[in-house]
Chains A and B, each alone.
Chain A
Amino acid sequence: MALRALANGKTLGRLYHQQIRGLQTFSLPDLAYDYGALEPAISGEIMQLHHQKHHQTYITNYNKALEQLDDAIAKGDASTAVKLQSAIKFNGGGHVNHSIFWKNLAPTREGGGEPPHGSLGWAIDQHYGSMEKLIAKMNAEGAAVQGSGWVWLAVDKELKRLVVETTANQDPLVTKGASLVPLVGIDVWEHAYYLQYKNVRPDYLNNIWKVINWKYASEVYAKECP
C-alpha cells in the first residue's frame, strides 16, 4: 500500500513538504537474523509473515495517520486530531512493540535462550525466586490475555523493580505506567503463533523462551539500573 502511494506525484510532493516541516516517517527495521533462524521455536513462515506483512502494515498505517494528524494540526482541526488518536495508538503501538520484539529474539546459536547472568539475572532471582518462576508467571499471564495483546517483563525505572505486565491489542507498555521500560515482550496475538501452534497458545509460550535474547534485555536493564 505504501509503495503504491509513493508512486503518486502528489504524495511525493507532500512528503517533501513534510520533510521540510520535519515530519518523520517510519520504515520497517531489518531483523538481525534470517526468518528461519528461530526454528523450531518459531517457524520461518510465521517470522516472514509477521515481519513483512503485519509489522509493515502497522508502519504503513502509522505513517498515514501521522500525515493526517500533521494536516489536522496545521489546520487547527481539533476533532480530526482527536479522532486520529486511536489509529495512532493501534498502528504506532504496533510499530513500537514489534520493533522491540525483533530485538527480544535471537537464534539459539547466537545466545537465544541463554539466561541472563549479570545484574538482571540477579534481580530476577531476587524478585521472583528463580528464572523458572518468572517464566511460569509470564506464561500464565500471557495465556490469560483475552483476545489480542502482549505480555511483558519490564523494569520500573523509578522504583528500580522488575514487573510483569500485560497490555491489550497494540497498547505500548507505557500505557500501563509511564516509568515502565520493556525488557522482554512476547506477542500473544494469534498471528504470532497460529500457523504453527494453532489454538495452543501455552505451547507457543513454553517454546519461545528458547529464543529469547536475554543479552538485549540485560543491556536495557543495566542502563536503567546501573
Chain B
Amino acid sequence: MVMASLTPITSHLTSHFLSTPEFCRLSQSLHRSPRQRRCTRKSVPEKISASIDLKPPPYALNALEPHMSKETLEYHWGKHHRGYVNNLNKQIEGTVLDEMSLESIISASYNKGDILPAFNSAAQVWNHEFFWESMKPGGGGKPSGELLELINRDFGSFEGLIHEFRLAATTQFGSGWAWLVYKEHKLDIPNARNPCPSEQDKKLVVVKSPNAVNPLAWEYHPLLTLDVWEHAYYLDFENRRTDYISSFLNKLVSWETVSSRLEAAKVLVAEREREMEEIDAIDDMDTIEPEDTYMYFGSDADE
C-alpha cells in the first residue's frame, strides 16, 4: 500500500536518500504507512531516544464501516490519538518519564490524583490503544465461557451488564469513557488487606471516568472501554450519543478481546495474592524482640 503511493517519487531518488532522516519525515507525513513508524538510519548516526509509538488499530481504518466510518477513524486515530502521542513525546523528552513504559508514565504522572502535565497525554494514548483493540469488524454478539459466567454472577444477566454499561456511557457528562473492569476486592487504605477474601470478591464492575482518567488510577483491571468524548461519535452520529453506544455494543465490541483481558487480569491477581502470602509467611516468622514492646508504653519505659 505504501510503496505503491511512493513509487513515482522513489524512481527519482537514490537508495542513499531512502535511509536518511529526510525520507523518514517525508514518508511519515504521507500518513499512509501507520506500520512504518521507524526508518532505519544507517547512514546518519543519530541518538534515538525511547519514545511512545502511535500504535495502529488492529484493522484497516475503513474496516468498521458502516458502524464507525473511515472518516471518523482517520480523524480519531490519525489526528486525535496521533496528537496525544506527539504531545506526550514532547512532554517527556529529557525527563525521568522518558525511557519509562506507558503504564509507568501514567501512574507516575497520575501522582495519586495530584495530576502532573504528562498525565492527560499519556492516559489518552493508553485509552485510545485500548479502545481500538476493544473493537473488531463484525463485532457485537454475546460473550461466552468464563466471562459470561462472571457477567451473570455480577450483573444478573448479560442484559444487566448492557444496561449498566449504557447508563454509564450515557451519563458520563462532558468528555470521558465508560469501562467494564475486573476489580479485586481491596480496601482503599494503603497498607490494609481484605480480612475476609473470597472468590466472590473479585468482581466485574462498570465504571465511568472523565476526560483522560482511566481505571488504572484506581488499580482496577480494565477489560473494555467506550470513548464518549464527542469527537468519537460526532461525525457519524452528531449529538446522538445513545445511537453511537448501541452501534458499539451491537456491532463493534470484541468479546474475545474482553475474555482474554479477563484471563490476563486473573493471572495478575493470582500472582499478587501469592506474593502477599509469601510476605505474610515471612512476617509470621519474625519474633518480637523484648525491646520492641517498650515502644508501646511511652517514655516511662526508657532506660
Contact = CB atoms under 8 A, between A and B. Distances in A.
Given A147-B229, A198-B75, A53 B238 contact: yes
B235 A194 contact: yes
Given A54-B239, A189-B230, A190-B231, A199 B176 contact: no
B83 interface: yes
Interface in A169-226: 169-170, 189-191, 194-195, 198-199
Contacts of A86: 173
A49 B1 CA distance: 38
Nearest to A198: B75
A146 B230 CA distance: 13
A57 B120 CA distance: 29
B80 interface: yes
Contact of B79 (A149, A168, A191, A198): A198
B234 A169 contact: no
Interface string B107-124: 000000000000010000
A163 to B, nearest CB: 23
A146 B174 CA distance: 11
Contacts of B238: 49, 53, 195
B234 A147 contact: no
Nearest to B239: A53
B183 to A, nearest CB: 23
Contacts of B211: 146-147
A90 interface: yes
Given A147-B174, A147-B176, A195 B230 contact: no
**Residue among A189, A191, A195, A199 facing the most chain B CB atoms (10 A cut-off):** A199
A190 B174 CA distance: 10
Contacts of A24: none
A194 B239 contact: no
A91 B201 CA distance: 37
B175 interface: yes
Interface in B120-177: 120, 173-176
A4 to B, nearest CB: 15
Given A199-B79, A199-B231, A90 B173 contact: yes
Nearest to B124: A146
A173 B230 CA distance: 22
A146 B212 contact: yes
A191 B174 contact: no
Nearest to A89: B173
A54 B174 CA distance: 12
Contacts of A189: 174, 230
B75 A199 contact: yes
Nearest to B120: A146
Interface residues of B, number: 19
Interface string B76-98: 00011001000000000000000
A148 interface: yes
A194 B79 CA distance: 13
Given A49-B239, A169-B174, A194-B234, A199 B80 contact: yes
A57 B240 CA distance: 11
B210 interface: yes
A53 B212 CA distance: 26
B194 to A, nearest CB: 28
Contacts of A148: 174-175, 230
A76 B207 CA distance: 30
B197 to A, nearest CB: 32
A191 B210 contact: no
A191 B176 contact: no
Contact of B210 (A147, A170, A199): A147
A149 B234 CA distance: 17
Nearest to B240: A53
A190 B210 contact: no
Nearest to B173: A90
Nearest to B82: A199
A168 B174 contact: yes
B230 A190 contact: yes
A191 B238 CA distance: 8
Closest A-B pairs by Cβ, 10 of them:
A147-B175, A190-B230, A147-B211, A148-B174, A169-B174, A53-B239, A199-B79, A194-B234, A90-B173, A148-B175
Given A147-B212, A168-B174, A194-B231, 15 more contacts: A53-B238, A86-B173, A146-B211, A147-B175, A147-B211, A149-B174, A170-B173, A189-B174, A189-B230, A190-B229, A190-B230, A190-B234, A194-B234, A199-B83, A199-B231
Interface of B: 75, 79-80, 83, 120, 173-176, 210-212, 229-231, 234-235, 238-239
